[in-house]
Structure 1
Amino acid sequence: MITIGSVVDGKYEILKLIGQGGMSKVYLAMDKRLNKQWAVKEIEKKARDKNNQVIIQSAIVEANMIKKLDHPCLPRIVDIIDNGNVIYVIMDYIEGEPLDKVLNEYGAQPQDAVIDWAKQLCEALEYLHTRKPPIIYRDMKPANIMLKPDGYLKLIDFGIAREYKEQNLADTVSLGTKGYAAPEQFGGKGQTDARTDVYCLGATLYHLVTGQNPCEPPYELYPIRHWNPQLSGGLEKIIQKCTQLNPDDRYQSCAELLYALNHYEEIDDVYREKQKSKLRRFGIVAACFLLSLAVGFFGQAMKTRTNNADYSNNIQMAVKASTDVEKVDYYRKAAGIKPTSKDAYIGMINAFKEDAVFTVEEEKKLKKEIIPHLTQLKQTQDYADLAFEVGKLYWYYYDYGKTKQSDNQVTRMKSSIQWFEDAVSYGIKDTDYYYMAAVYRDIGKFNRDITLNIEEASDKGKYGPYWNNMKQLLSIVDKNQGESEIVKLEVYKLAAYSIETYARKFRTDGIQKNDVYSVFHTVKQSTANISAATEKTGEMKMSIMRRFPDTEKAIENAYRNQ
Structure 2
Amino acid sequence: MAGIDVGVVLAGRFRLDELIGQGGMGMVFRGRDHILERDVAVKLVPPDIAAMDGAATARLNREIRVLAMTQHPNIVTVYDRGDHGGTLFVVMEFLRGPDLGDLLSQHGFLGVAEVITYGAQVAAGLTFLHGLPIPIVHRDLKPSNLLLNQDGTVKICDFGIAIAPGSNLERYTRVGAVIGTPVYMSPEQFQGEEAGPPSDVYSFGAVLYALLTGGPPFQDGADYLVRILGRPPEPVETFRPEVPRRLSALVHAMLAKSVDERPTAAEVLRELGEIVQPGDRERPEIPGPPTVAPPPPPPASGIDAAERLLTSGRTAEAYAAFGAARERQAERTPEYLTAEFGRVRAGHALGREAEAAIRWVRLVEQARQTLGPTHPLTQAIERFGEVTRSRR
Same fold, TM exceeding 0.5?
yes
- Checking the alignment, whether the CA contact within 8 Å between 1:26 and 1:40 is kept in structure 2 is yes
- The structure number with the bigger radius of gyration is 1
- Checking the alignment, whether the CA contact within 8 Å between 1:78 and 1:452 is kept in structure 2 is no
- Checking the alignment, whether the CA contact within 8 Å between 1:73 and 1:120 is kept in structure 2 is yes
Residue in structure 2 matched with residue 409 of structure 1 by the alignment? 297
Displacement of 1:214 after TM fit?
Answer: 4.6
After TM superposition, list the pairs within 5 Å mapping 1:66-145 onto structure 2: 66-83=67-84, 85-145=86-146
Residue in structure 2 matched with residue 462 of structure 1 by the alignment? 321
CA 460–126 in structure 1, closer or farther in 2 if over 3 Å, else same: closer
- Distance (Å, rounded) in 1 between the aligned partners of 2:137 and 2:341: 42
Residue in structure 1 matched with residue 197 of structure 2 by the alignment? 194
Displacement of 1:165 after TM fit?
Answer: 2.7
Residue in structure 2 matched with residue 153 of structure 1 by the alignment? 154
- Distance (Å, rounded) in 2 between the aligned partners of 1:508 and 1:16: 29
Partner AA of 1:448 in structure 2 = R
Residue in structure 1 matched with residue 21 of structure 2 by the alignment? 19
- Checking the alignment, whether the CA contact within 8 Å between 1:38 and 1:91 is kept in structure 2 is yes
Aligned residues: 318
CA 201–49 in structure 1, closer or farther in 2 if over 3 Å, else same: farther
Give the secondary-structure state (helix, strand or coil) at the position aligned to 2:285: helix
Partner AA of 1:41 in structure 2 = K
Residue in structure 2 matched with residue 528 of structure 1 by the alignment? none
Partner AA of 1:197 in structure 2 = D
- Checking the alignment, whether the CA contact within 8 Å between 1:34 and 1:451 is kept in structure 2 is no
Residue in structure 1 matched with residue 383 of structure 2 by the alignment? none
- Distance (Å, rounded) in 2 between the aligned partners of 1:108 and 1:448: 33
Per-residue CA distance 1:135-194 (angstroms, 9 max, x = gap):
0011111100112222221111001110113999x8364311111110111232x21111
- Distance (Å, rounded) in 2 between the aligned partners of 1:452 and 1:230: 36
CA 451–232 in structure 1, closer or farther in 2 if over 3 Å, else same: closer
Check if 1:231 corresponds to 2:243.
yes
- Checking the alignment, whether the CA contact within 8 Å between 2:24 and 2:49 is kept in structure 1 is no
- Distance (Å, rounded) in 1 between the aligned partners of 2:95 and 2:190: 31
Give the secondary-structure state (helix, strand or coil) at the position aligned to 1:81: strand
Per-residue CA distance 1:12-49 (angstroms, 9 max, x = gap):
11100111232211001112233221111011354389
1:259 aligned residue (263, 266, 270): 270
- Checking the alignment, whether the CA contact within 8 Å between 2:50 and 2:57 is kept in structure 1 is no
Partner AA of 1:71 in structure 2 = H
- Checking the alignment, whether the CA contact within 8 Å between 1:78 and 1:91 is kept in structure 2 is yes
CA 70–216 in structure 1, closer or farther in 2 if over 3 Å, else same: same
Check if 1:38 corresponds to 2:49.
no
Displacement of 1:258 after TM fit?
Answer: 2.3
Partner AA of 2:321 in structure 1 = K
- Distance (Å, rounded) in 1 between the aligned partners of 2:189 and 2:318: 41
Check if 1:178 corresponds to 2:178.
no
After TM superposition, list the pairs within 5 Å mapping 1:87-486 onto structure 2: 87-165=88-166, 171=175, 173-188=177-192, 190-214=193-217, 216=219, 221-251=233-263, 253-264=264-275, 373-374=285-286, 400=294, 408-410=296-298, 445-448=305-308, 461-463=320-322
- Distance (Å, rounded) in 1 between the aligned partners of 2:109 and 2:29: 30
Displacement of 1:93 after TM fit?
Answer: 1.1
- Checking the alignment, whether the CA contact within 8 Å between 1:15 and 1:27 is kept in structure 2 is yes
Residue identity (%): 27
Per-residue CA distance 1:464-510 (angstroms, 9 max, x = gap):
65699x9xxxxxxxxxxxxxxxxxxxxxxxxxxxxx9737778999x
Partner AA of 1:119 in structure 2 = A
Relative to the length of structure 1, the TM-score reads: 0.50
Partner AA of 2:271 in structure 1 = A
- Distance (Å, rounded) in 2 between the aligned partners of 1:451 and 1:239: 32
Structure with the larger RCO, 1 or 2 (CA within 8 Å, 6+ apart): 2
Check if 1:502 corresponds to 2:362.
no
CA 73–451 in structure 1, closer or farther in 2 if over 3 Å, else same: closer
Per-residue CA distance 1:78-112 (angstroms, 9 max, x = gap):
22213463211111111211011111112211112
- Distance (Å, rounded) in 2 between the aligned partners of 1:460 and 1:171: 41
- Checking the alignment, whether the CA contact within 8 Å between 1:23 and 1:44 is kept in structure 2 is no
* Structure 1: runs of 5+ lacking an equivalent: 275-339, 341-371, 378-389, 402-407, 414-439, 471-499, 510-562
RMSD: 4.1
- Checking the alignment, whether the CA contact within 8 Å between 1:63 and 1:89 is kept in structure 2 is yes
- Checking the alignment, whether the CA contact within 8 Å between 1:45 and 1:56 is kept in structure 2 is no
- Distance (Å, rounded) in 2 between the aligned partners of 1:505 and 1:58: 30
CA 501–263 in structure 1, closer or farther in 2 if over 3 Å, else same: same
Displacement of 1:399 after TM fit?
Answer: 5.4
CA 108–63 in structure 1, closer or farther in 2 if over 3 Å, else same: same
CA 88–235 in structure 1, closer or farther in 2 if over 3 Å, else same: same
- Checking the alignment, whether the CA contact within 8 Å between 1:232 and 1:265 is kept in structure 2 is no
Displacement of 1:447 after TM fit?
Answer: 4.8
Residue in structure 1 matched with residue 353 of structure 2 by the alignment? none
CA 400–166 in structure 1, closer or farther in 2 if over 3 Å, else same: closer
Q: Where is the helix percentage greater, Structure 1 or Structure 2?
A: 1
- Distance (Å, rounded) in 2 between the aligned partners of 1:9 and 1:451: 21
- Distance (Å, rounded) in 2 between the aligned partners of 1:65 and 1:246: 27
- Checking the alignment, whether the CA contact within 8 Å between 1:44 and 1:85 is kept in structure 2 is yes
CA 507–136 in structure 1, closer or farther in 2 if over 3 Å, else same: closer
- Checking the alignment, whether the CA contact within 8 Å between 2:307 and 2:318 is kept in structure 1 is no
- Checking the alignment, whether the CA contact within 8 Å between 2:18 and 2:30 is kept in structure 1 is yes
CA 233–69 in structure 1, closer or farther in 2 if over 3 Å, else same: same
Per-residue CA distance 1:365-411 (angstroms, 9 max, x = gap):
xxxxxxx8227x9xxxxxxxxxxxx9xxx9xxx9556xxxxxx333x
